Each structure stands twice: as C-alpha cells, then as structure tokens.
Structure 1
C-alpha cells in the first residue's frame, strides 16, 4: 500500500508540474536561449552574470553573427525593417512600452507566439505575446537578421 501511495504522489507531481515554456523547438535560437534562462536581470548587463533586455538581445544575436545592433531597446527598435505582428519569425525583435513613455523593453521572438527577454523582476525568461501585460504594451517588431543568420537560428 505504501508503494502505491508513493506512486500516486509521484504521478501527481509529474502531471501537475509545468515546463518553463511550452515551446518545444529544437532550433539553434531556442538552444541559445535555454542556455541562459534564469540569468538574473542587471541594469546595463550584457553578460551571463546578468542582462538587461537589450543586453540579452545583443548577447543572443552575437551568437549568430547578426551584425551590429545599437545598445538600447529604443535604438534597437529603429534598426532593421518593420515586421507586422502576424509575420513574425524566429529572431525578430519585439518591442514594448512598459513605462508609458515610448520603447522601454524588448525581446526576441522564438516562435509559437512566444518571445525570450530579460525581465527586470524575473531575469531571462520566455513569455507569450498574448499575455495581457505584453499584449497591451506591444509597440512594434523589427527584422534585424540576414537570411544567413536566420538560417543558422532556425536550424
């Protein structure tokens, strides 16, 4: 009886735990993001010791030789070419107005309606564009990677 109860408890834990992300891509981009998930937020941070949102973008994009991006999210939002929300693909940058005064947060679209970013309260994480907080603050998206870099990311 004891083994049966322990088995039930184990099954309950297994079936009630939720993954960090429901996005199950095996892309190179997703692999790079998974490597730094949970890295703490650090204002001005650009290394695995801590990232701010634009520093996280620079770190990940450097892995794919995606060219020179500006340092801040507001200036990154002017790089590349605009992309409609319905046309997002892996590697596109997404931008938000979280402070009420223009672009103040950014992330990298990873597919399936999700983006990776460095949250000031939770560090590097994956969120959904449909989460009410981000849906209500979404401003724009930009395509900043070349076709070659995109091919590297998507593989």
Structure 2
C-alpha cells in the first residue's frame, strides 16, 4: 500500500486535525492553490511552493531574499528557485509575462496591482482569490486575499 492510499484510513483514525501532520509524514505538504501532483511539476507551482515556504519572512525594501523580501524580490527569488528568470521590479516583471485574463489565472501566475497604467505591487496567485506576497514595511510574507479589482495577471514564460 502506498503512502497516498493510506491517507484516507489514517485520517479516519487520526481525525482531520492531524491532516497536515499526515501530509507532512507522507512527504507532501498542502499548499493553497495546488491541486495535483502533475501541477506541482510546473515552474509556476514550484515558485508558489517557494513563496509559501517564506511565510513570515520580514519585508525589506529592495531585498531579494533569502531571508527578507520586497514584493518583486519575493517573486524574483521564487521563480529563480523554480528555474525561471525574472527582472527586478514589479513593472519590469509585468512587461516580461504573458498577460492573461482573470478567468484564465492559475495558481503560480503573477498578480500585478496597478493604479492607472502604473504597476506598483506583485504577488503570486495561490488560488481562491489569494496571493502570497511581501506587503510593506513592518509586515511579513503572507497569504492574503486580493483586496482590489485593480489587478492584472501575467504568466511567466
């Protein structure tokens, strides 16, 4: 019996409170926005996992990791670890991605916040209207619901 086949019986005995422990023991960690093993193999979902693993890292303007990040520094670092190169700033990253509609967005796509034509913030889409991002000075890398409709989406090529 594989570890994957044992999960339902283990969960029945252990209760849902132990689901994350079971997932960790089985070698798989649940990350918001990831739905299948096949999806986990893409650079975008690898970058999403990297960003999620940086949860709690402090924001620092201009920082690109590995312990402190600004918004575009987190996306740059996450995609670099996934084997993709991105430019430094949110606006430059927007210009390097394939622009997609909100309907087409997938976990691992970039979410660009804008005012008019100016991009001022970026995060990695985690699914269910949420992003992993480094918000601002005094804050930390975290998962947060998208708070505005003034966003554009980009897929890293």
TM-score range, shorter chain: 0.5 to 0.7
Selected match of 1:53 from 67, 71, 79: 71
Q: CA RMSD in A?
A: 2.4
Which residue matches 1:79?
Answer: 96
The separation in 1 between residues aligned to 2:131 and 2:33, in whole angstroms, is: 13
* Corresponding position: 1:118 with 2:126: no
Q: Which consecutive unaligned segments of at least 5 residues does structure 2 have?
A: 1-16, 18-30, 41-45
Offset at residue 23 of structure 1 (A): 3.2
Query: How far does residue 141 in structure 1 lie from its aligned partner after superposition?
Result: 0.9
Provide runs of 4+ in structure 1 moved above 3 Å: 22-31
* 8 Å contact from structure 2 (residues 114, 152) kept in 1: no
1:94/1:142 contact within 8 Å kept: yes
* Deviating more after overlay: 68-77 vs 25-34: 25-34
Q: How many residues align?
A: 118
1:104 offset after TM fit, Å?
0.7
Contact 1:29 1:110 in 2 (8 A): no
Deviation digits for residues 13-38 of structure 1 (CA, Å, limit 9, x no counterpart): x9xxxxxxx93747545532332101
Q: What is the SS of the residue equivalent to 1:104?
A: strand
Query: Which structure has the larger Rg?
Result: 1
Alignment partner of 1:93 out of 110, 113, 124: 110
Q: Which runs of 5+ in 1 are unaligned?
A: 1-13, 15-21, 146-155
> Among 16, 25, 32, which residue is 1:23 paired with?
32
